Amino acid sequence: MPPFLHETRTCRVRLENGCWADLPGELDRLGVSRILVVTTPRGSDAAADLVEALGAGVAGVFDRAKVHVPSDTAEAALGEAQQAGADVLVAPGGGSAIGVAKAVAMETALPIVALPTTYSGSEMTSVWGITGEDGKRTGRSAAAAPRVVLYDPSRTLSLPPRLSALSGMNAVAHAVEALYAPDRSPLSCLLAEEGIRTMARFLPRVVDDPVDVEARTGALCGAHLCGWALDLTSMGLQHKLAHVIGGSLHLPHALVHAILLPHVVAYNEGAAPEAMDRIAGALEGERAAPALFELNRTLGITDTLEDLGLTPGDLDRAAEMAVRQSYPNPARVHRVGVQRLLQDAWEGRRPC
């Protein structure tokens, strides 16, 4: 374990079946009363009863949140918040809804109450992202971090098995990279390892039986742990490649993460032995990379980069972009190695 510096920020987190019903009490605790609900078009149907229950407290509903937070979407949501005179942002949904709320909070310092319905873990982080014409910019800001997180398993039963599996593997990718991050701490490693273990235990059950409330509860707990680990650490090659491929080629973020993860872990294997042991142990496998590949298969994720329509030329461009920037990664990032990694992910080869 390297020397570490750990900072704690305040976030009130509750996980309990039915806890969204206590949202009015949570808003009272924050001393706020003019709510802007921020969600995706699909989320607005799911949140309709919530909006009804909040009654006159709802000053506006912005239901056009989109994945990767396009800058015009962020601006439109900011306009709604200002027009409504909102003093709080309530975001039911996944990383897309919460991401748009974060973009508004950065401009307004309004508190966010996150009501997560996927497993990608964004609710636990101060990480923001906004996509403009020049690609996706990301950063960290205390203003973007939700102040309250309410995990209500009963509100996640409608999340389709495929989206459950993919957003869950996105969370596992956070935890994997947290385990070899240069700024890891004893706490972040515990969160990450337990997050992977919890996801591996409950995600397959969610996929088999989407209305298994106990499995949904476990998967939300896994998302909480993995997201928190992401908040405490810097991400490496996995997140850089997912960003480059997902952002520049407009491919589904979580699926790109899931496809890449076993191959990035194979790439880093020799340079992060302690992390690899912890990942393999959490997955009850002998080695981390094949165990992650098997977890994908168990969840029905058999896709390859070729299935996503990437061409060999795209792989070259992605490798070039990934080596052009600098970021922490246990193994040295070099073009030939990254190209080989991407080729394996393109073919869907099992890491050996």
**Which residues here bind ligand NAD, judged by CB under 6 A?**
40, 42-43, 46, 67-68, 93-97, 99, 117-118, 120-122, 125, 127, 129, 156, 158-159, 163, 167, 170, 230, 253-254
Q: How far is the CB of 158 from ligand NAD (least distance, A)?
A: 4
Q: How far is the CB of 66 from ligand NAD (least distance, A)?
A: 8
Q: Which is nearer to ligand NAD, 173 or 305 (CB)?
A: 173
- In 3-state terms, what secondary structure has residue 66? coil
Concatenated DSSP letters for 73-119?
Answer: HHHHHHHHHHHHT-SEEEEEESHHHHHHHHHHHHHH---EEEEE-SS
- Answer whether 260's CB lies under 8 Å from 319's CB: no
Q: Assign residue 327 a region (left: φ > 0; alpha: ψ between -120 and 50; beta: otherwise).
A: beta
Instruction: Give the residue at shortest CB distance from ligand NAD.
Output: 95
Q: Which is nearer to ligand NAD, 125 or 268 (CB)?
A: 125
Q: How far is the CB of 155 from ligand NAD (least distance, A)?
A: 6
- Answer whether 15's CB lies under 8 Å from 224's CB: yes
In sequence order, the β-bridge partners of residue 35 are: 58, 88
The Cα 268–Cα 179 span in angstroms is: 12
Q: Which is nearer to ligand NAD, 215 or 276 (CB)?
A: 215
Q: Which two three-digit tokens encode residue 192?
A: 């990450």
Q: Which is nearer to ligand NAD, 219 or 276 (CB)?
A: 219
Q: How far is the CB of 34 from ligand NAD (least distance, A)?
A: 24
Q: How far is the CB of 129 from ligand NAD (least distance, A)?
A: 5
Q: Which two three-digit tokens encode residue 117?
A: 């319905």
Q: Which is nearer to ligand NAD, 68 or 184 (CB)?
A: 68
Q: How far is the CB of 167 from ligand NAD (least distance, A)?
A: 4
- In 3-state terms, what secondary structure has residue 301? coil
Which among 64, 231, 62 is positioned nearest to 149, based on CA atoms? 231
Q: Which is nearer to ligand NAD, 122 or 329 (CB)?
A: 122
Only one residue has tokens 């020799």, namely 270
Q: Which is nearer to ligand NAD, 86 or 242 (CB)?
A: 242
The Cα 214–Cα 227 span in angstroms is: 20
Q: How far is the CB of 241 from ligand NAD (least distance, A)?
A: 13
Helix or strand holding residue 53 (H, E): helix 48-54
